[in-house]
């Protein structure tokens, strides 16, 4: 008989680790979630990163919204439960370009992806799965006892609206400008 797994939802700037079988879920847009798993000790955890880099701890009260702080918290949490750093594998999700009005080059999703991938490379944590970029939001369900991830893509409503506006603008630009008659007031004929 399989026991029912505990379920935990995390939000921006949060992190959860567990030695007990748990399903951690989150919803991502331009944010990135990293799922770390120690397959030997069967300990896993997930974070939800809003911004790349590191928080200025003197000015921000939610440092785990930043990638470096969130990664440190996740790794430390797994190690405190008995996980070993050299066993860790990662699955990385999110970083969608969900605000089409901002150039993808300057979008936060791309920056979050670049930061997290470089962090994992430098820390020598092997990536065993990823679903990054694009224009969709994602729901991520991470099973801490097996390292399995179930992913649900959510088509961005913003993208549909943006495409409709873009189509309308192109149509308007194709039509020649037609001016009506001008009537000036105060002039006698």
What DSSP string runs through 167-188? HHHHHHHHSPP-------TT--
CA distance 87 to 52: 25
pLDDT value, residue 98 = 80
Question: Which residues make Cβ contacts (< 8 Å) with residue 117, sequence separation at least 6?
Answer: 92, 127
pLDDT value, residue 28 = 94
Would you say the pTM of this structure is higher than 0.85? no
pLDDT value, residue 155 = 80
CATH topology of domain 6-174: 60s Ribosomal Protein L30; Chain: A; (3.30.1330)
pLDDT value, residue 150 = 97
> Phi then psi for 72, rounded to 5 degrees?
-60, -45
Burial class (CB in 10 A: 0-12, 13-18, 19+), 171: exposed
pLDDT value, residue 180 = 63
- Any long-range contacts for 52-59 (C-beta under 8 Å, 24+ apart)? 52/108, 52/111, 52/112, 52/114, 52/115, 52/116, 53/115
CA distance 148 to 25: 12
Question: Which residues make Cβ contacts (< 8 Å) with residue 169, sequence separation at least 6?
Answer: none
CA distance 171 to 137: 29
pLDDT value, residue 54 = 75
Q: In what helix (H) or strand (E) does residue 68 lie, and over which residues does it extend?
A: helix 67-80
| Residues lower than pLDDT 50 in the chain | none
pLDDT value, residue 51 = 83
pLDDT value, residue 40 = 97
pLDDT value, residue 144 = 97
């Amino acid at each position: 008989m399989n026991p029912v797994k505990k379920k935990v939802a995390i939000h921006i700037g949060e992190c959860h680790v567990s030695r007990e079988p748990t399903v951690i879920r989150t919803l991502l847009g331009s944010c990135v979630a990293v799922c770390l798993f120690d397959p030997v000790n069967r300990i896993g955890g997930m974070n939800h990163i809003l911004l790349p880099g590191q928080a200025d701890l003197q000015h921000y009260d939610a440092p785990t919204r930043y990638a470096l702080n969130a990664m440190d918290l996740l790794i430390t949490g797994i190690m405190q439960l008995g996980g070993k750093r050299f066993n860790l594998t990662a699955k990385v999700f999110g970083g969608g370009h969900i605000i089409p009005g901002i150039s993808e080059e300057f979008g936060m999703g791309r920056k979050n992806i670049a930061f997290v991938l470089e962090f994992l490379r430098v820390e020598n944590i092997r990536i065993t799965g990823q679903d990054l970029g694009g224009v969709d939001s994602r729901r991520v369900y991470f099973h801490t006892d097996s390292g399995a991830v179930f992913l649900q893509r959510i088509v961005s409503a913003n993208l549909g609206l943006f495409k409709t506006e873009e189509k309308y603008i192109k149509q308007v630009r194709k039509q020649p400008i037609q001016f009506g008659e001008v009537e000036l007031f105060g002039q006698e004929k």
